[in-house]
């Protein structure tokens, strides 16, 4: 499989774009004419630059408003084509993309267009060049790949073929199975893009909101399955017009793009084993059966504060590491580690971010295979020297440079706690508060990073995204989207802050980057947990009484329940399937906090309607600590 990306997809000048594209592992580029026109160098120099990066120019585009023109425009478009053929020869590419005509002068008629393409094919053939025809979703006469294919078929010229673009086909909801009947060798090129489902004008949607396959809502994998069934084995090329990507990091966007193609190809290989499509093998998406542990990096003094907070939450200190300064805290199935080592990864994480989560351990079926898949998709492996008596636990880098370790039951990794930790009886341990598991973790990041991590999680793990919700912070919007598996054993919320005055934005700024901002523990009885917490000296986040008056108006709760919520500072939500109860700790440091939740029935969400009131309460609490007043 060859991969390519259109130069419009990323930011920078041509030289920056090429460097980023090459280092992400692409084989080729689509040169967008404007990127060439803006470049101060000859076509031959561009061709050499591309070659020097180990890339090829897979395609030159776009050639607009060609087919079906009346005279005198028709003669002029052929002259224009010859000029662009000259340019292509100098650049060193043999394929031109002709997109369907949008000119008001253009005349319809399949045969007229086919005759024009036949004539263009003759001219291209003289120079050893080829032309491909793409139906733009908003083309004046041709806006459907089935019509474009009929024109190519009737043009009946070996140098004229079809170009498919998933966006144009899927945006118009054209049945992708119509692609299966097209001979693969008549498809000259395939462009791929996804997009979030937004009801808007097709052209505007296409030019501003496309994103990488797997980042949006379009069935790009179904499209690609149909393409693979044709026997097409040419490049898969990303053509992503996206306002955010145009201003983003060319390197990061290129890496995401390359990952998206590998992930897509892997899905297609599994779904269409008979296709001739040649793609690298990798283990399947990884099922996660739970969060094995979460590790905090801290110094000794802050470890004491954090330990005191855990104590009030009902955690007991149950173990210490055989040779390192690592303390294990447990309650129910939850394992938390506080790492106060003076060297190694956790220590460097502490130096950069202060006390924060530096490592997340996930339970998987095969830890080594998990890292194999992650690496195949371009994730960064993580290793550090293993001390005597310690296990080598497979790991990769995750959000904000943090580590994700993988633990499986098929190897000795399952016994890591017995092997590496000495158990200690915490005699003065607090009363258990009924916390059973980690329900979810919230990772806070810049808004622009959300698609990166969405793709990271969903390509490596058997997870899916939930719809994006807007959370209103008094200082701006925070967007929140959950990544979860079907069984609910892995739930991660990605929270994207648009500015640093929000509670989430403040956390990123002070923490020097993206990280876990909160952990939510599950209980089976929120009221019993709430009183046990109070017994332990826990002080819940104080919620405004106004919230409870509104709750009563919205849900008509009985008086007793409402009173218990109010006195316990417990937030409440309900959906078709069940109920949700939330209780918060005050925030710690620059905005880290704990949450305790109970899900009753099949409640699916995360209490988004309550987030605004929770944030307001947290900001009231933080103000004396230097949070800008908003
Ligand atoms: O938006 C456009 O004009 C445009 C141009 C070329 C393409 O390949 C495309 O998909 C869209
Ligand atoms: Mg296109």
Write out pLDDT tens, residues 294-308. 999 999 999 999 999
φ, ψ at 559 (rounded to 5°): -60, -40
Q: Is 207 in the pocket of ligand 1 (CB under 6 A)?
A: yes
pLDDT tens digits, residue range 532-556? 999 999 999 999 999 999 998 999 9
Report how far ligand 2's centroid is from the alpha carbon of 102 (Å).
Answer: 14
pLDDT score, position 161: 98
pTM for the model stands at 0.96
Which residues of the chain are in CATH 3.10.180.10 domains?
288-423, 435-625
d(CA 107, CA 114): 12
φ, ψ at 58 (rounded to 5°): -75, -25
**What's the rounded mean pLDDT across residues 26-36?**
94
d(CA 196, CA 158): 37
d(CA 81, CA 85): 6
pLDDT score, position 555: 94
DSSP bridge pairs for 164: 190
Q: Where are the alpha helices (DSSP H) in 468-626?
A: 503-511, 526-535, 545-555, 559-568, 608-622
Smallest CA-to-CA distance from 98 within 189, 34, 181, 202 is with 189
Rg of the Cα trace of the chain?
28
- With beta carbons less than 8 A apart as the criterion, state whether 328 and 320 touch: yes
φ, ψ at 444 (rounded to 5°): -100, 135
Atom 9 of ligand 1, residue of closest alpha carbon = 136
Atom 1 of ligand 1, residue of closest alpha carbon = 207
pLDDT tens digits, residue range 140-187? 999 999 999 999 999 999 999 999 999 999 999 999 999 999 999 999
Domain boundaries 435-625, corresponding CATH code: 3.10.180.10
Residue 623 has pLDDT above 60, yes or no: no
Would the annotation count 595 as a binding residue? yes
Would the annotation count 302 as a binding residue? no
Report how far ligand 1's centroid is from the alpha carbon of 411 (Å).
Answer: 51
Share of the chain above pLDDT 90, in %: 88
Which residues of the chain are in CATH 3.20.20.150 domains?
3-271
At 587, is the pLDDT very low, low, confident or very high (cuts 50, 70, 90)? Answer: confident
Atom 11 of ligand 1, residue of closest alpha carbon = 136
Domain 3-271 top-level CATH class: alpha beta
Q: Is 355 in the pocket of ligand 1 (CB under 6 A)?
A: no
Would the annotation count 412 as a binding residue? no
Q: Is CATH 3.20.20.100 the right assignment for the domain spanning 288-423?
A: no
């Amino acid at each position: 499989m060859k991969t390519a990306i259109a130069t419009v997809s990323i930011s920078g000048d041509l030289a920056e774009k090429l460097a980023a594209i090459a280092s992400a592992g692409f084989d080729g580029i689509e040169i967008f004419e404007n990127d060439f026109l803006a470049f101060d160098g000859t076509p031959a120099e561009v061709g050499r630059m591309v070659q020097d990066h180990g890339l090829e120019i897979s395609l030159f585009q776009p050639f607009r408003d060609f087919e079906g023109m009346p005279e005198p425009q028709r003669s002029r478009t052929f002259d224009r084509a010859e000029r662009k053929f000259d340019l292509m020869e100098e650049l060193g590419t043999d394929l031109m993309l002709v997109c369907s005509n949008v000119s008001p002068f253009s005349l319809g008629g399949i045969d007229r267009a086919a005759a024009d393409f036949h004539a263009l094919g003759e001219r291209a053939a003289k120079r050893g060049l080829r032309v491909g025809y793409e139906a733009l979703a908003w083309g004046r006469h041709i806006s459907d790949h089935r019509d474009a294919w009929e024109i190519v078929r009737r043009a009946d010229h070996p140098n004229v073929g079809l170009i498919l673009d998933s966006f144009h086909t899927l945006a118009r909801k054209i049945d992708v199975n119509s692609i299966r009947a097209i001979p693969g060798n008549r498809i000259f090129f395939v462009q791929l893009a996804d997009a979030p489902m937004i009801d808007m004008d097709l052209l505007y949607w296409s030019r501003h909101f496309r994103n990488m396959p797997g980042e949006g809502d379009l069935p790009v994998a179904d499209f690609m399955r149909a393409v693979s069934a044709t026997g097409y084995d040419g490049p898969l090329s990303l053509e992503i017009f996206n306002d955010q990507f145009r201003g983003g990091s060319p390197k990061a966007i290129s890496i995401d793009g390359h990952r998206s193609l590998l992930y897509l190809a892997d899905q297609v290989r599994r779904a269409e084993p008979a296709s001739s499509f040649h793609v690298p093998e990798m283990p399947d998406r990884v099922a996660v059966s739970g969060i094995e542990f979460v590790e905090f990096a801290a110094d000794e003094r802050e470890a004491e504060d954090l330990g005191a907070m855990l104590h009030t939450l009902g955690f007991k200190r149950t173990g210490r590491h055989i040779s390192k300064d690592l303390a294990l805290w447990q309650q129910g199935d939850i394992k938390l580690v506080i790492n106060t080592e003076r060297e190694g990864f956790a220590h460097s994480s502490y130096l950069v971010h202060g006390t924060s989560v530096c490592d997340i351990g996930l339970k998987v079926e095969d830890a080594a295979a998990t890292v194999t898949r992650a690496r195949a998709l371009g994730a960064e492996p993580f290793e550090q020297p293993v001390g005597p008596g310690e296990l080598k636990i497979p790991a990769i880098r995750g959000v904000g440079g943090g580590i994700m370790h993988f633990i499986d039951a098929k190897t000795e990794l399952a016994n890591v706690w017995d092997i590496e930790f000495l158990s200690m009886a915490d005699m003065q341990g607090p009363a258990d508060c009924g916390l059973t598991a980690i329900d979810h973790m919230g990772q806070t990041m810049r808004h622009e990073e959300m698609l990166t991590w969405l793709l990271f999680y969903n390509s490596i793990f058997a997870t899916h995204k939930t719809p994006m919700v807007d959370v209103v912070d008094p200082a701006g919007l925070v967007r929140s989207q959950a990544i979860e598996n079907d069984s609910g054993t892995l739930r991660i919320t990605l929270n994207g802050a648009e500015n640093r005055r929000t509670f989430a934005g403040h956390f990123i700024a002070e923490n020097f980057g993206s990280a876990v901002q909160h952990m939510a523990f599950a209980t089976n009885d929120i009221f019993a947990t709430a009183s046990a917490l109070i017994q332990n000296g826990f002080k819940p986040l104080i919620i405004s009484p106004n919230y409870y008056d509104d709750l009563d108006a919205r849900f008509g709760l009985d008086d007793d329940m409402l009173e218990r919520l109010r006195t316990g500072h417990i937030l409440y939500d309900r959906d078709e399937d069940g109920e949700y109860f939330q209780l918060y700790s005050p925030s710690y440091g620059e905005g880290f906090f704990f949450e305790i939740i109970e899900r009753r029935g099949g409640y699916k969400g995360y209490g988004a309607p309550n987030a605004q009131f929770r944030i307001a309460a947290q900001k009231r609490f933080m103000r004396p600590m230097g949070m800008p007043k908003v």
